[in-house]
Structure 1
Amino acid sequence: MSEPAAWLAQLFGRAPVDLSRFERALTHSSLSEGNYERLEFLGDRVLGLCMAEWLFELFPDEPEGNLSKRFNTLVAGATCAEIARELGVPEHLRLGKQARDDGALGSDNVLGDVLESLLGAFHLEAGLDEARAFVRRVWGTRVHAQAKAPQHPKSQLQEWAAAHNRAAPEYEVADRSGPHHAPRFTVVVRVGRGHEASAVGASKQEAETAAARALLQQLRDVTPARGRRNASA
């Protein structure tokens, strides 16, 4: 058994029947037209279904809003990329030289997409039941990690602005750099006058989320200090 086949057998608990499908799932567009993009399209939907029904089962008393918060965190590109690294996906990713030189091997966008493409390939080969079992196995600790549904940083910042009678947060793309397959976005977020932060991400959404998180941290750092001054006055 080849090294990729052995790794896939360990990853999914069964040897691949059609190794070429999984090889395509691990192939970046910089190397071949026969790349992971179509399989990623399928895998994204498989992951969404598996995660949605799992959360529906696990949290029977939670409203749709809380389930959506959990769902969005668990299927986010950054989460998928973390799992991909834990599973050893970067060691088996097939990239063209330019993409490798440009850092695609460490890109959350690329790694997250490849994990979904592998899930799509596994779904085609083994069916939904085994794809579901795989999702529950590798996402397991993350699903159970938070007793309370996580609040997305952008939603948190929106609520802070409303609670403090400020205008809604404004997001601006300050810069876009990098090649097509590994872009870098710099986003600035502002709330009223005097409150702003910036962050970089592999997508506009990722950069906006990081910027919102950074501004929230600034606001948390400032608020206790004001409280201490008021208490001592």
Structure 2
Amino acid sequence: MTDNPETDAWLADTLGHRPRDSALFERALTHPSMDEPHYQRLEFLGDRVLGLIISTWLYERHEGDAEGKLNSRLALLVSRTTCADIAREIGVAPHIRFGKQARDDGSADSDNVLGDVMEALIGALYRDAGFDAARSFVYKVWESRVEEVDRAPQHPKSALQEWAAANRAKPPVYSIVDRSGPPHNPRFTIRVEIPNRDSAQAEGSSKQEAEKAAALALLEKLA
């Protein structure tokens, strides 16, 4: 158990699992501003576990979807914003241990911090109880988000923006590579780049159509 009985009770109730290795969960809830082992390594692991769970869920739920559409859904569901929103819903913030300056600076309501801790908790649960326990937890707290994405699949440009934010990359940059054809039937070639990551280009009969196709192409490369 941790040093805080309220946190112990919250973990057991929220995760559906009473921690065996309390040090894992203490670490998952410890901000780097503390001079102690903190959540970053568990966040690295939890990010991959979450990605596998959601990817498999979408693959099984949407048998007819092409890879690009699956990528769009995945990018939204594992984004930093989504992870942070879920962390708020389940009441993570009061249980995070901060150094005084970080707490005074408002880190307890930071999307980056809350998203990281959410992933770290998934990593800790995976290490402590196995993949099935981690999957059961993710299915429980992500279910409404998955249903929401089903009702309104995200536009590829928005999904790419979410991917960049979730992976701490710079926002996508779009540029016109070529414009050809007569005025009544133009063709646009658009290039999109996430600086220092990757790029893709695509054609369309309008600038908007070409940007959408380029964003989809880049999402497929980044998957």
TM-score (norm 2): 0.69
CA shift at 1:109, angstroms? 0.6
Report Cα offsets for 1:20-75 as digits up to 9, x if no partner.
21011000000124000111011001001001000000000000000000000000
2:161 is the counterpart of 1:153: no
Which sections of structure 2, spanning at least 5 residues, go unmatched?
Answer: 162-171, 180-185, 196-206, 208-223
Q: Alpha carbons of 1:92 and 1:166: their partners in 2 closer, same or farther (altered >3 Å)?
A: same
Query: Aligned match of 1:6 in 4, 9, 16?
Result: 9
What secondary structure does 2:155 align onto? coil
Q: Is the Cα contact below 8 Å between 1:90 and 1:105 reproduced in 2?
A: yes
Q: Which runs of 4+ in 1 moved over 2 A?
A: 146-149, 152-159, 161-172
2:51 is the counterpart of 1:74: no
For 1:60-139, what aligned pairs fall within 5 Å after superposition?
A: 60-139=63-142
- Which structure has the higher relative contact order (CA within 8 Å, separation 6+)? 2
Report Cα offsets for 1:75-110 as digits up to 9, x if no partner.
000000000000100011111111112221111011
Which sections of structure 1, spanning at least 5 residues, go unmatched?
Answer: 173-191, 193-233
* More moved, 15-24 vs 88-97: 15-24
For 1:6-45, what aligned pairs fall within 5 Å after superposition?
A: 6-45=9-48
Identity of aligned residues (%): 49
2:164 corresponds in structure 1 to none
Amino acid at match of 2:147: H
Q: Is the Cα contact below 8 Å between 1:40 and 1:118 reproduced in 2?
A: yes
Q: Alpha carbons of 1:108 and 1:150: their partners in 2 closer, same or farther (altered >3 Å)?
A: same
CA shift at 1:14, angstroms? 2.2
Q: Alpha carbons of 1:170 and 1:137: their partners in 2 closer, same or farther (altered >3 Å)?
A: closer
CA distance in 1 between counterparts of 2:191 and 2:80 reads 26
1:222 corresponds in structure 2 to none
1:58 corresponds in structure 2 to 61
CA shift at 1:149, angstroms? 2.5
TM-score (norm 1): 0.67
What secondary structure does 2:151 align onto? coil
- Count of residues in correspondence between the two structures: 173
- What is the root-mean-square deviation of aligned Cα atoms in Å? 2.9
For 1:208-227, what aligned pairs fall within 5 Å after superposition?
A: none
CA distance in 2 between counterparts of 1:69 and 1:50 reads 16
Report Cα offsets for 1:165-224 as digits up to 9, x if no partner.
59657999xxxxxxxxxxxxxxxxxxx9xxxxxxxxxxxxxxxxxxxxxxxxxxxxxxxx
CA distance in 1 between counterparts of 2:44 and 2:143 reads 23
